[in-house]
Amino acid sequence: MPDPDLPQLDLDAQLCFPLYAATRALTRRYAALLAEVGLTYPQYLCLLALWENGRDRDPLTVSALGRRLRLDSGTLTPVLKRLEATGVLIRRRDPSDERRVLVEVSESGWALRERVAEVPARLVEGLTFSLEEAAQLQGLLGRLLEDLDAAPAPRSQSGPPSGPGSDQD
């Protein structure tokens, strides 16, 4: 039961909770659809970003891909290694700077694109959202990300509280 003195701490009053729960539910739905073609959700996201880059463009660096996906290289590298092992992408050192790793989609990765083209439409089957509402939600979430990126980090309250009854009197 919510605390009437602190209603802001009610789980249902939190912005994060429906986002968290919806993300988990969407990811489960994606996982079921992507399992049909042997992909995980993180692998699918990587491929979407690489496909978006285009067949005729230069390969992306791991760091550029990480920025696009909002993932650090420690999280991204194992995903890329698994995709490379399945033959859908190619990773190689940049000849002009050996510290950089370039990533590009292989021919079998481009063929896989056709096999997953129906995933977005199948994902929303059975949802009651209109296309307009889905676009509106996507826009709001994009704005939320922009706002969070632009906002200064909240100050942490370091150390134990001071005042009457504390050890720091």
Q: Is 129 helix (H, G, I), strand (E, B) or coil?
A: coil
Q: What is the pLDDT of residues 48-60, one digit of tens each?
A: 999 998 888 889 9
Domain tally, the chain: 1
**Distance, CA of 52 to CA of 70 (rounded, Å):** 16
pLDDT tens digits, residue range 100-155? 999 999 999 999 999 999 999 998 888 898 889 989 999 999 999 999 999 888 88
Task: Examine residue 93 and state whether it is found in any structural domain, yes or no.
Answer: yes
Tell whether the model's pLDDT for residue 168 goes beyond 80: no
Smallest CA-to-CA distance from 120 within 53, 26, 25, 22 is with 26
**Type of residue at 124:** V
What is the domain-level CATH number for residue 46?
Answer: 1.10.10.10
| pLDDT in the model for residue 166 | 46
If you write DSSP's letter for every residue of 11-64 in order, what string do you get?
GGG-SHHHHHHHHHHHHHHHHHHHHTTT--HHHHHHHHHHHHH-TTSPPEEHHH
Report yes or no on 131 lying in a domain: no
Model pTM score: 0.83
Q: Would 46 be classed as within a structural domain? A: yes
- pLDDT tens digits, residue range 154-164? 887 765 555 44
CA–CA dist 70, 66 (Å, integer): 6
Window from 24-28, 70-74, 159-163 with minimum mean pLDDT: 159-163
Any domain includes 2? no
Residue 63 CA, chain-centre distance (Å), reads: 15
Q: Per the domain annotation, does 40 fall within a domain? A: yes
**Residue span of the structural domain in which 51 resides:** 14-124
